[in-house]
Structure 1
């Protein structure tokens, strides 16, 4: 087993990637912006059952917005999983707060990896770089689709992921050298939470369980379990078939917020007593958006019917994800077990 660098080790996807790499016997190095966060990462890994395997994990301080630390982080590594990217729950004051660190951070990691003789980088992109700003289509979106980053109404996050992935492929074409790149494009990531630092997508389930949303807006999206996202990263890291490819990570057909709420209500019984199962009319969501910029971000997606296919990852890499239902329930059970539903 070689040494693998995972960027942004305190993140939701990254922590699960580290768990699976350690379980497979790798030496793992991870970056955090401040080494004081190392204790939090180790606590999450302990929650995930890493045990003594976490002794094979080392930390390096590096920030996506600065050059310092990245050459040292990549030195001696065989592969790099570049997972780190800003994804706030709220709305940034300016979209460059997300775009600049996402795009420039990806380029910093790719340069450091190339210069260190790393064999392959796996970049965590997103469905956000695939299925937005485009005309409606009956066929499921796949890896040949690209979000139109110039389209009106795109969120800063969607634009950041699209521009960062485009920049990564452009870098590889111009100056990648012997370095290989593969990209994983997850839809909304659910699954077992290891601590209070979890993905923004988890907030939906947390708020439904807490009853802090009045109802279910007419939104539909794909979801996938974080353990399967990590598994796909590891497959893309080692399989020759993944070289130069992007892989859409989705558990199955897209679900509506109402379908997610109904599932929680049906499977969790009294523990889901506060989950709303009322369909919010669009006019009410638009009214709420006047005062809430977070709600304003979802307005372009109201009522849109979309889907995506995971056929490529299944066919080329033998990937077999858990069901939508398993991912949702794992999210809820972990939030409740850790006391994260107030």
Structure 2
């Protein structure tokens, strides 16, 4: 296959698996890095699970800079825009998320349209389709989340604003370039690197015994391998053009995830916590703790969500969440990504 696909943010968890999925299907892949010194590590991690590594090349580009994006997309039939900022909350700087997500997305789209890319598939987030928590409405692709809703932290606000800006841009300036967005839940699964882990840190912390007590929080889980396959399917399926697709499998409470890890990891799971953190205590402390404040609206809520559209239109068939979290934990243990590496 002679077609070239650009994957943005090649050091990322999802991006690496998208590269694997593309190489396995015979595509030539180019991926962007802010620092080309990391190219060797990315190449080695992908070569460990996929053939065709000779079809992977690298381009230097940064979401916050115009330089390099024209060269990165030149000659590409498709673009998977996966890159997104993952830092900034600790400093309380919402702009550290929002500006790179929104402005970076527009840089990628402008360059893609100018280069005549056939279709761009953008990684958004399931939260961008979430209605108010007390509304009783189901999260589906017809919904647009309110960025001012207090249930959303800075990362999710950045996803909402970036996806809105992307659709607006493509509707007015997209020309012949088609556009699709994929909205994943909490992304777990085996890691190819311990860099840029995102939501996988939740699993790593549990294996390492953190937190000592579990808040009543739950996640719509999606396996990174299934998510990568969905991106590639959405890239070429005629019915995917101009559409949003929620990517989520099973809903799992943290206690369920912890119990699964305890049961399946054997001795490696002995630190996984089992005791629940009282919800009343979390709500009491939340106004005083920046790390707890974003959790308060989500405590005890299993908000309804539907991935029926992705299943029906694109054949999305996510694997069981139990398998995903165990594979995730096992890979982290092997890579030393839990703070407790295997001897």
Give the TM-score normalised by the residue count of structure 1: 0.95
Give the aligned partner of residue 324 of structure 1. Answer: 321
**Distance 1:191-1:58 versus aligned 2 partners, 3 A rule:** same
Give the aligned partner of residue 234 of structure 1. Answer: 232
- Contact kept, 8 Å, 2:151 with 2:298, in 1: the verdict is no
Give the drift of 1:94: 1.6
Q: Distance in 2 between matches of 1:89 and 1:45?
A: 28
1:21 lines up with 2:22 in the alignment: yes
Q: Distance in 1 between matches of 2:150 and 2:307?
A: 28
Indicate the RMSD between aligned Cα atoms, in angstroms. 1.6
Match among 155, 164, 167 for residue 166 of structure 1: 164
Q: Distance in 1 between matches of 2:89 and 2:53?
A: 32
Give 3-state SS (helix, strand or coil) of 2:112's partner: helix
Per mean C-alpha deviation after superposition, the further-off stretch among 230-239 and 272-281 is 272-281
Give the aligned partner of residue 94 of structure 1. Answer: 93
Give the drift of 1:116: 0.2
Match among 246, 249, 271 for residue 247 of structure 2: 249
Q: Distance in 1 between matches of 2:249 and 2:127?
A: 16
Give the aligned partner of residue 281 of structure 2. Answer: 284
- Contact kept, 8 Å, 1:32 with 1:60, in 2: the verdict is yes
Q: 1:35-82 deviations in whole A, cap 9, x for unaligned? A: 1111221122133x124x111111111000110000101111000000
Q: Distance in 2 between matches of 1:71 and 1:156?
A: 29
Give the aligned partner of residue 141 of structure 2. Answer: 143
Give the aligned partner of residue 43 of structure 2. Answer: 42
Give the TM-score normalised by the residue count of structure 2: 0.94
1:192 lines up with 2:193 in the alignment: no
Q: Distance in 1 between matches of 2:45 and 2:306?
A: 31
Per mean C-alpha deviation after superposition, the further-off stretch among 150-159 and 54-63 is 150-159
- Contact kept, 8 Å, 1:117 with 1:179, in 2: the verdict is yes
Q: Distance in 2 between matches of 1:245 and 1:90?
A: 31
Q: Distance in 2 between matches of 1:219 and 1:212?
A: 14
Give the alignment of 1:1-342 within 5 angstroms: 1=1, 2-47=3-48, 49-51=49-51, 53-88=52-87, 90-131=89-130, 133-137=132-136, 140-252=138-250, 254-286=251-283, 289=286, 292-341=289-338, 342=340
Per mean C-alpha deviation after superposition, the further-off stretch among 125-134 and 280-289 is 280-289
**Distance 1:119-1:21 versus aligned 2 partners, 3 A rule:** same
Give the drift of 1:340: 1.9
How many aligned positions are there? 338
